[in-house]
Structure 1
């Protein structure tokens, strides 16, 4: 009988420890820093005066925040608040690829080929971007980009 009482006591103690550990974990999760509030972002992108038919726009943080990317369709893009960037400064990279009509070796599968594509957006708008914006917590965060295929850098209406 005494052995059974010790076993029951041990089970009660183990359950108590697990319960306390669970309560502490829940309190810690509830107190965790959620980080800065994300913001919705939208805009229009033109290339040589025409809406960019398709592509992507990426906002890469300059201050350690999380990056955000959107698909461009018919010259417009939108990023919902739930996945949008936090307030801060961002470098902007805009890309749009087009098939060249050639097949090339797959970079990871040597026996396979893939369609070759090239970026129709000049490098100074992506890999060597000079575009930057500032996302704010109290603004509309609409950022239009007027890109050109000439060497001239795109203009923006606001956001520096």
Structure 2
């Protein structure tokens, strides 16, 4: 008898929890669907944003540039890297969008951070080496905190949709 009571109790418990489990699975599926395929409208109006970064009047190659939105927590940061001539182009990575469709920045005001890592011997970090790997090998920030620290940077930018050519924003950094 005790065995039958256990079977009946476990069957009853299973019958009660089964609909709840199905509901949780259904809600999880619905929550995960749709939202990832839809790109928020704010990300469909990216403005081509580029420029040149110089240090003491000379091009600053291999520097990372980050545009941090001011007053808009929901807006993503825009990123770029300077080439040998100090030129950069920004992109705003958005899940579900190809890289070529992510070029540019969302119109608005930004705080700007520019970073340039150097190896302990003073050389530039090799192009194929990630920043994390370079830092493990002793690479350090070479730019003053007023450019490279998100808490101390004085650099700002305003990306606007004014021109069809995009927005050109140049930075002339000064260091001793």
TM class, shorter-length: 0.5 to 0.7
The residue correspondences of 1:39-58 to structure 2 (distance < 5 A) are 39-58=47-66
Q: Whose strand proportion is higher, 1 or 2? A: 1
1:114–1:82 distance in 2 versus 1, CA, 3 Å: closer
Give the TM-score of the pair, scaled to structure 1.
0.63
TM-fit CA distance, 1:137 = 1.3
Contact 1:91 1:133 in 2 (8 A): yes
Match of 1:138 in 2: 162
Counterparts in 2 of 1:101 and 1:61: CA distance versus 1, 3 Å:
same
41, 62, 82: which one aligns with 1:72: 82
Q: Distance in 1 between matches of 2:136 and 2:39?
A: 45
Gaps of 5+ in 2: 1-29, 92-100, 123-134
Structure 2 CA distance, aligned partners of 1:52 and 1:32?
A: 34
Q: Taking structure 2 as the reference length, what is the TM-score of the superposition?
A: 0.57
Q: Does 1:122 align with 2:144?
A: yes
RMSD: 2.8
State the shift of 1:126 in Å.
1.9
Runs of 5+ unmatched residues, structure 1: 1-21, 103-112, 151-160
Structure 1 equivalent of residue 107 of structure 2: 87
Q: Which has the higher helix share?
A: 2
Mapped to 2, the partners of 1:31 and 1:123 lie a distance apart of 38
**Alpha-carbon deviation of 1:83?**
3.6
Where does structure 1 differ by over 3 angstroms across 4 or more consecutive aligned residues?
28-33
Q: Kindly indicate whether residue 46 of structure 2 is the aligned counterpart of residue 34 of structure 1.
A: no
